[in-house]
């Protein structure tokens, strides 16, 4: 799952940056969903813009923590385990961009939300899966 998410993220980012001009937008559903090529210097919603080294160090810490805890993580419920894998894939996908360019390539544009990418989706779904596991699945295992 990690490899699939990471490769999908990087292939789409490479394609978008190769065929679109920075700032270009292509309406898929006009006024609702567009593909818009932007470079994000920060995190979600542009927070902490231009803090490249902070995000690189944070990404490396996430990878190191995952590798350290992975033997224990494999024994957790699937929701938690795969949530962590998705979170890691998203973090590494954006880390690759930050190391290579100092910026993250974003392109999904729903017009009512900041533009985002596949790595961002993986991070959000991974964290949601982990929260679900902690609140419902892991608690059930303790009972």
Question: What is the predicted pLDDT for the residue at 87?
Answer: 94
52-73 pLDDT per residue, tens: 888 889 889 999 999 998 888 8
Question: What is the predicted pLDDT for the residue at 76?
Answer: 83
Report whether pLDDT(22) > 90: yes
Report whether pLDDT(90) > 90: yes
Report whether pLDDT(48) > 80: no
Are the beta carbons of 106 and 118 closer than 8 angstroms? no
CA distance 72 to 66: 10
Question: What is the predicted pLDDT for the residue at 139?
Answer: 66
Q: Point out the residues that are catalytic.
A: 106, 120
CA distance 42 to 132: 27
Residues 24-36, mean pLDDT to the nearest whole number: 97
What residue segments make up the domains of the chain, in order of their start? 2-142
């Amino acid at each position: 799952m990690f490899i699939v998410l990471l490769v999908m993220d990087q292939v789409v980012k490479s394609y978008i940056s190769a065929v679109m001009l920075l700032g270009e937008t292509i309406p898929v559903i006009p006024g609702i969903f567009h593909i818009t090529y932007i470079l994000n210097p920060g995190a979600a919603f542009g927070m902490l813009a231009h803090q490249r080294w902070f995000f690189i160090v944070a990404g490396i810490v996430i990878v190191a923590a995952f590798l350290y805890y992975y033997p224990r993580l494999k024994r957790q419920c699937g929701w938690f385990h795969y949530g962590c894998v998705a979170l890691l894939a998203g973090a590494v996908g954006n880390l690759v961009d930050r190391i290579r360019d100092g910026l993250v390539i974003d392109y999904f544009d729903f017009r009512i939300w900041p533009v985002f990418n596949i790595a961002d989706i993986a991070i959000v779904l991974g964290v949601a899966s982990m929260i679900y596991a902690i609140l419902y699945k892991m608690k059930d295992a303790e009972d």
